[in-house]
Each structure stands twice: as C-alpha cells, then as structure tokens.
Amino acid sequence: MDWFGNFSQGMSHLQWLWLMVGLQLLLFGLGWLGAAGVSTDEQVHMRGLAVFNIGVGIGLALIGLRGYLPYLLTHTLSNLCSMLSFTMLWRTGLAMTDQALHAREQALLMAVGAALLLWFGQSPQTGQQRVTVYFLVVSWIAIRGSWQVGRRLWQERLRGTGATMLTVGWLLGGLFLHRGLSGLRSPVSTEFTSDTTPTLVLAYVLLAAGFVANLVFANIVFGRMVRQLRRLSRHDMLTGLYNRRAIVDALQLEWDRFRRGGAAFTVACVDIDLFKQINDRHGHAAGDAALAGTAQALRSQIRPGDVIGRSGGEEFLVLLMCADQDTAIGIAERMRSAVAVAAAIHPDPTRRLTVSIGLATAQAMDVSIDALVARADSAMYLAKRGGRDQVCMAPNSARSAELSVASAI
C-alpha cells in the first residue's frame, strides 16, 4: 500500500490521464479479441482492430508510466508501438471496405518512421525530434486513412458512418499535424507529458476519439454481419438462389399487387428429371453439384426483374414478370435448353441433365397465390408424364383439365 501510495502521489494529472486512455484502449482490444474468437466471417478484421487498440493502449500506458520505467520503453518504444498500431488500423479499414491496402506506401512510411524514431529515441536530448517524427507520421496515417475509408463508406451509402470517420480522423490528424509542425519551429517541448493546454486537449481528444472510432468500426463490422445473416436467411446456401421463404414472399408480394389491379405475371415450376437416380448412383456430393449447376443455368436465362428460388429438393420456382404466354414459354424454353446443353452438370458424361417446367399465368379466377402455384405444379407434372424435358402451359380456364405441351424432345 505504501508503494502504491508513493506511486500514485508521484504521478501528475496528465500521466494519470494517459494511463486511463491507454487502459480504455486495452479493454477495447480485449473486447475485439473476444469477438474474434466467436466470429468467422469478420475474424481477421476484428483481430486487426484488437492489435490497433492493444498497441496504442500499451503505447499510451507507457507514457503514463514515464519516470518509473526506462527511457527507451516509455518514450521510444511507446511511440513506435503506437505508430505501428495506427498503420494496422489503416490497413484494417482498407480491408474492411474492400480497397487496395497500399502496402508499399505503408511499408515505406513505417521503415522511414521507425528508423527515425530509433535514431532520435536513444537520448532525451533528441526527444523533440523523436516526438516530431511521431506526430507527423501518425497525422499522415490519420488524415489519409480516414479519407480513404470514409469516402468509400460514403459511396456505399453509409453516410453517417463515413462522415463520423472523416470527422474523427481529420480532427485527430489535424491535432497531430499541428503538434508535429510546432515541434519543427518551436523550442517549446511537444512531448506527451509536457504540462501545456494543447497536450491536455490532445489527451481528452484521444480519449473521445478512441471511443468513437471503436463505435464506428463496430457499426461497420456488426452491420456487415447482420447483412450477411439476413442474406443467409433468404438465400439457399448450395445454389445461391432465393430459398423457399424468400421466393414465396416475392410471389405473395406480386400476387398482392395483381389483386390491387396490377399487371398479371407467370409462375414457372421447374423440377430436375430423375434426380433421385443421381443421388442413388453417384452420391449426394454429385447431386449437390448437379443442383448448383442447374441453378446457374436457370438463372442465366431469366431477365432483369424476374425472380428465381429453390423451393425444396430438386424443385425451383420462377416469378416471370410477364402475362403473355408466348413470352413466358420462350423464357421457359431457354431455361430448359440451357440445362440440357450445359456441360458437366450430370455426373455421368454419357448422359445429360434435363428439367420439366410447368407454367401458369395469374388470372382473376385464381383465389390465392397457392392456387396459382398449384396450377403451375400440375402443369409441370403433366410435362413429366409427357416424357420429361419439356415445357407445359396450364390452360386459361381453371376448370379445364387439359394442358398444352409447349415443347417436347
């Protein structure tokens, strides 16, 4: 207790402030490490943010311990650790926004900056030069990095996040640049522990900036994770198409528009012919490959505005934004043909994969979207009974038991 009392009484208010800022960043870093341990998609980015927070936190905590530890640790190593950590944040921000990492620029900046820090950091007599180098290098990283990342966020319509990134980065970079330029032209010390108003302002700005910067990156990281989860909840992982829930929602939405007086549309039910034989004879891996290949072939033939999804097993539903039967049959024929001629979809090179397609156009007599889909499904089964690898259109009359075969091979 006596040791702690002497320790705490010997520290200035500014040293306590730097120690507090450093501990805050260390806690943020540990939080990012914990989050990285339970994440897979954003694990690399989270680790980069952890390295930044821990590195800068250690650097600032060492500043708070000046007078208790060797000079090289609390001055030179402190600046070097912080500078390298800011570079890591720059790289992480660029990676998170899918930009080039500017590795050569960063490597050159770090090589020159580290060499100068080590050169001037050997003695207190060159402390002003050391800290000037640090401020100038970090100001460049803060201004340039926040501009690159903030601009990309703005372009991606994350304008609030982008504006916050620019504001924090340029404010911090401006303060660092001012301190660096002051060190070049003024004999007054610009050390972190110099008891001046600008140093105190810098400490409080760093305290706030560390908190805000982590909130900004948390918003980016967890926002991407939420969007990914939303996508996974509406897309089939094997084929990349909409899953049953998403395609049914799309059909229901279009049905509601139709009932309110909107344009009619056509539903296509697609089923892979003899798919069970592929699984039985060649295994489920071959079946999965066939499903993925079929999905790609079908998707390649629909138009912008049309929607396709996997409704289950080897079945697909397609929302065709057209009421003209000839147009719908033409699109369905292209889908059927694309699957039939696609290479390497069927695991047996001597055979080809085919699909049967049933079509039904929305009519006033349809009582629900389920009834419309049922008509398309009935047409698809008639196509199978007619010999498979063909397109059948459901009749205009819901009472008619006849279905027309649009094409057969």
> Does residue 135 carry a pLDDT above 90?
yes
> Does residue 337 carry a pLDDT above 80?
yes
One domain, residues 230 and 252: no
**So what's the pLDDT on residue 47?**
95
**202 lies in a domain?**
yes
**77 lies in a domain?**
yes
The residue range of the domain holding 58 is: 2-234
Segment 341-369, tens digit of pLDDT: 987 788 888 788 999 999 999 998 899 99
Q: Is residue 92 within 8 Å of 106, Cβ to Cβ? A: no
One domain, residues 212 and 190: yes
In Å, what is the CA distance from 309 to each residue of 68, 146, 201, 299?
66, 40, 57, 9
**192 lies in a domain?**
yes
Q: At what angle do helices 369-385 and 244-259 cross, to 10 degrees?
A: 120
One domain, residues 114 and 70: yes
Q: Is residue 234 within 8 Å of 183, Cβ to Cβ? A: no
> Which residue among 194, 211, 234 closes a domain?
234
> Which residue among 178, 210, 234 closes a domain?
234
> Does residue 53 carry a pLDDT above 90?
yes
Tally of domains in the chain: 2
**So what's the pLDDT on residue 7?**
53
Segment 240-257, tens digit of pLDDT: 999 999 999 999 999 999
**So what's the pLDDT on residue 199?**
84
Specify the residue for token string 């760093």. Answer: 206
**So what's the pLDDT on residue 10?**
63
> Does residue 180 carry a pLDDT above 80?
yes
One domain, residues 55 and 104: yes
One domain, residues 209 and 106: yes
CATH of the domain at 74: 1.20.1070
**So what's the pLDDT on residue 403?**
45
Mean pLDDT value across residues 324-331: 92
**So what's the pLDDT on residue 407?**
44
**146 lies in a domain?**
yes
One domain, residues 87 and 211: yes
One domain, residues 224 and 296: no
- 314 is known as an active-site residue: yes
One domain, residues 177 and 58: yes
**225 lies in a domain?**
yes
One domain, residues 187 and 135: yes
**347 lies in a domain?**
yes
Confidence of residue 61 (pLDDT cuts 50, 70, 90): very high
**239 lies in a domain?**
no
**185 lies in a domain?**
yes
One domain, residues 355 and 211: no
In Å, what is the CA distance from 141 to each residue of 49, 87, 156, 362?
15, 7, 22, 59
Confidence of residue 401 (pLDDT cuts 50, 70, 90): very low
- Dihedral sign (CA 147, 149, 154, 155): positive
CA atoms of 79 and 169, how far apart (whole Å): 19
Rank 40-49, 79-88, 390-399 by mean pLDDT and report only the highest. Answer: 79-88
Find the catalytic residue in 156, 314, 333, 402. Answer: 314
> Does residue 220 carry a pLDDT above 60?
yes
> Which residue among 234, 269, 288 closes a domain?
234
> Does residue 232 carry a pLDDT above 60?
yes
One domain, residues 397 and 301: yes
CATH of the domain at 397: 3.30.70.270
Segment 270-300, tens digit of pLDDT: 999 999 999 888 999 999 999 999 999 999 9
One domain, residues 37 and 162: yes
Judged by average pLDDT, the poorest of 80-89, 320-329, 331-340, 343-352 is 343-352
